[in-house]
Structure 1
Amino acid sequence: MIHFVLLVSRHGAKVRLSKFYTQYSARERARIVQLLAPIVIARSSKLCNFLDFRGVRVAYKRYAGLYFIVGIDDGDNELHTLDIIHHYVVVLDKHFGNVCELDLIFNFDKAYYMLDEVLVAGRLVESSKNIITTNIEEQDAEMAESAV
């Protein structure tokens, strides 16, 4: 099971998106971000993309200026987690073109909605990029209609 998903900028370790699927207090969430982000950013690109952090296995992947960090159970498949990260990035790319940090800053609501289309309760629920894209386009059309 996925415990949390964090999107952290490479410069300054600013959190651009955070979603927790396990019950943590606000203080614990802040502490996880505060401790984990610098560890991931400081790691050499020659090291593997997995590490253990406070009883949680962490898988991460860097895309352009963003680190996608996912905390999973110790027995879960790390390679499958990297595939989930890539799946989410492809969905973001399909919607935004070539997704960048600014897309997430100015469209954070869509980024969260896309993550909710991919993961529910820490589990992968939709593996079809086309279905997710169709759902997002339908939501955008409904938002445009309600604005008129």
Structure 2
Amino acid sequence: MIHFVILINRQGKVRLTKWYSPYSQKERTKVIRELSGLILARGPKLCSFVDWRGFRVVYRRYASLYFCICIDQDDNELEILEITHHYVEILDRYFGSVCELDLIFNFHKAYYILDEILIAGELQESSKRTVARLISAQDSLVEAAKEQENSITNIIAHATK
């Protein structure tokens, strides 16, 4: 089971977190501080698995971001690396070569994509095509809601003149 997903940049700033196990806000802050210090200090030639507090943290660096996923000791680390790569490929497909700024300014989309892939700490959808279709449908719903909101705003504006 995946306990949490954390995306941090090379300076240790958190860009995205998703918690699947209960942690208080104080514990979350401590976890992020510990893990960012531990992972950022590791050399690039070391393996991408770290034993931490009875769990295993699997991380992978893409450009300036570290994708860190905490799992149980007996879970398959290679599967987690594949899930991470799957998530990055979908982000690339959606944003067109994703970068840190895409995640900063469109964090809601990054969360939505992650929620389509993982649910309750388990892999939900492994098909990139299916995830892309669901994201496109959600984008269409958002656009329709914005158009409806604009039309209602225009009606109210004309009625109050």
TM-score (norm 2): 0.90
Which structure 2 segments of 5+ residues have no match?
148-161
Separation (CA, whole Å) in 2 of partners of 1:131 and 1:49: 29
State the match for 1:2 in structure 2.
Answer: 2
Higher relative contact order (CA 8 A, sep 6+): 1
State the match for 2:105 in structure 1.
Answer: 106
Separation (CA, whole Å) in 2 of partners of 1:116 and 1:52: 26
State the match for 2:140 in structure 1.
Answer: 141
Separation (CA, whole Å) in 2 of partners of 1:55 and 1:27: 19
C-alpha displacement of 1:38: 1.7
C-alpha displacement of 1:56: 1.0
Runs of 4+ with >3 A deviation: none
The answer to whether the aligner puts 1:71 opposite 2:51 as a matched pair is no
Letter in 1 for 2:82: D
C-alpha displacement of 1:41: 1.1
Superposed CA RMSD: 0.6
C-alpha displacement of 1:15: 0.3
1:100-131 superposed Cα distances (whole Å, 9 cap, x missing partner): 00000000000000000000000001000000
State the match for 1:37 in structure 2.
Answer: 36
1:45-67 superposed Cα distances (whole Å, 9 cap, x missing partner): 11000011111100000000000
Separation (CA, whole Å) in 2 of partners of 1:126 and 1:14: 28
SS of the residue corresponding to residue 72 of structure 1 reads strand
C-alpha displacement of 1:77: 0.5
Separation (CA, whole Å) in 1 of partners of 2:130 and 2:92: 15
Q: Paired residues, what number?
A: 147
C-alpha displacement of 1:26: 0.9
Quick check: which has more Rg, 1 or 2? 2
SS of the residue corresponding to residue 85 of structure 1 reads helix
Separation (CA, whole Å) in 2 of partners of 1:138 and 1:72: 31
SS of the residue corresponding to residue 21 of structure 2 reads coil
Separation (CA, whole Å) in 2 of partners of 1:88 and 1:49: 17
Letter in 2 for 1:18: T
Separation (CA, whole Å) in 1 of partners of 2:96 and 2:41: 29
Letter in 2 for 1:113: Y
TM-score (norm 1): 0.98
State the match for 1:87 in structure 2.
Answer: 86
